[in-house]
Copies of this chain bind each other. A is one copy, B any other.
Amino acid sequence: MGTAEAWTDLTAVVRDVEALEGALGLLEWDQQTMMPRRGAAGRGAQIAALAKVLHERVTQPKVGDLLGALEGQALDEVQAAGVRNLRRSYARATRVSPTLVGKIAEAQSDAFNAWLTAKQDSDFPTFAPKLEKLLDLVRERAAVIDPAAHPYDTLLDEFDPGTTMADLRVTFARLQKGLGELLSAVRDHAELPVYDHPFDAAGQRGLHREVLTAMGFDFDAGRLDDAEHPFSLGLHPDDVRITTHMYPTDLLSSLSGSIHEGGHALYEQGLPVHLRGTTVAKPASFGLHESQSRFWENYIGRSRPFCEWLGGRIAARFPDAPADADLLYRSANRIHPGMIRIKADEVTYNLHIIVRFELEVMLFDGKLTVRDLPEAWNARYQEYLGVTPKNDAEGVLQDVHWSSGAIGYFPSYTLGNLYAASFGKVLETEMPDLWERVGKGDLLPIREWLRTNVHQKGTMKLAPALVKDVVGEQDLVENLLAYLWGRHGALYGVKRPV
């Protein structure tokens, strides 16, 4: 079979898979936004049936044959990226036996249900054996996917290909130290204010739509809906769904949720749609995806110029609400070390992640048993954040990730913050009137810059290489720390030690 023919056949498979992934995405979106209460059982069966079809499609021997026919041939850049991506996903999908897939699915379901109860009762010991069993199977899966690699590297590869455990150990240790210094410096200073005022949901929704439109989210190619937990989901670059949650008296939390998901959504809308069918019209990694949401949420959305523009928009829509830019800016950047990751500010957030990363590595290095997790968790929280959970519900049991077997996922959140700060530094250089524009709500040029430098690149390169193309040989940790010290040092009136 000739190269052209094999490539054509392969893109037909990919197109089919992409279309079915979009259908699966709709089942999930609807489940969290529209589905009536009693639809859950039927929906579970629909998702399982479609996931099975997708697995069949991805693992069909034809894919292996076509990859074999293409590897070693003269390929263009897109073809080379496509073959690399597919070889990786094909290996991951085919090396794991259906028996092991079934065992993992069962253990996930057991662990998830045990976690729900354990979290409610703050009772880690009932969850521990289920988690232990699940982790054993996850370890086994990693070993069959790549017997030569460290299992944690194999797990990381699922979310952030190109990033290794060794990289993260070094990066996160430096970051933890630097964040510790910032936290110590601000700890004794007066707390910043809380922005607290009642807003009706319809009014907030109007403001969210206005902000998303200014960011360049295309409502002809997407929607905004309410959901219990905010998320975004691309069914296709021309159909990207955002959800948000309205808090009646905490407009900044609601809005930063929409801005965050809007950042994810712009990435999905900006993917190179003309490359559908090649695997290149996909996000490059979880960390890079997170860099887009964090860039908009924090770097732009908590900046002083953004708060000035936002104050004007609040004043125009809610004449009775406080709209002072300084109040908004100070409230949006309040540092408050706490127990719960998803409520954390942008400084301490990374410490929550580093705790989890270190514990995951210890578990996979055999240096920690599941039973000892709560103690190790609490000790690290005291050391890094200066707080100790009063029980496991607000400690080691707070997140869903481990109960679903997602090990190696957490680092992507902090990778996102690292990438975002460096993107910001480069953008400030390339767009000298950046903050002037932001102050006027003129945000489209920012989307264009991200589209050109990130979104349109799809999976042509692995995320670390893509980031290097944009920011060069800069020190990502130093850039993040400098940005955080710059903003929060000024707000709290503290100086970075030299």
Contacts and interface: CB of A to CB of B under 8 A. Distances in A.
B219 A20 contact: no
A123 interface: no
Contacts of A18: 45
A16 B49 contact: yes
Interface size class of A (residues with CB under 8 A): 35 or more
Interface string A42-54: 1101101110110
Interface in A31-89: 34-39, 41-43, 45-46, 48-50, 52-53
Contacts of A222: 36
A42 B18 CA distance: 10
Q: Assembly of this chain: how many copies?
A: 2
Contacts of A220: 36-38
Contacts of A236: 39, 41-43, 46
Contacts of A48: 19
B36 A27 contact: no
A427 interface: no
A47 to B, nearest CB: 8
B218 A39 contact: no
Interface string A128-166: 000000000000000000000000000000000000000
A27 to B, nearest CB: 6
A478 interface: no
A187 B14 CA distance: 63
B34 A46 contact: no
A48 B19 CA distance: 9
Contacts of A20: 46, 49-50, 53
Given A50-B20, A219-B36, A239 B26 contact: no
Contacts of A362: none
A221 interface: yes
Contacts of A27: 23, 26
14 contacts: A15-B45, A23-B27, A23-B49, A30-B30, A34-B34, A36-B220, A36-B238, A38-B220, A38-B239, A39-B221, A39-B239, A41-B238, A43-B239, A50-B50
Given A26-B46, A36-B220, A36-B238, 8 more contacts: A19-B49, A19-B50, A36-B239, A39-B221, A39-B239, A41-B238, A43-B239, A50-B50
The 8 closest A-B pairs by CB, nearest first: A42-B236, A39-B239, A19-B49, A38-B238, A19-B45, A38-B221, A37-B220, A23-B46
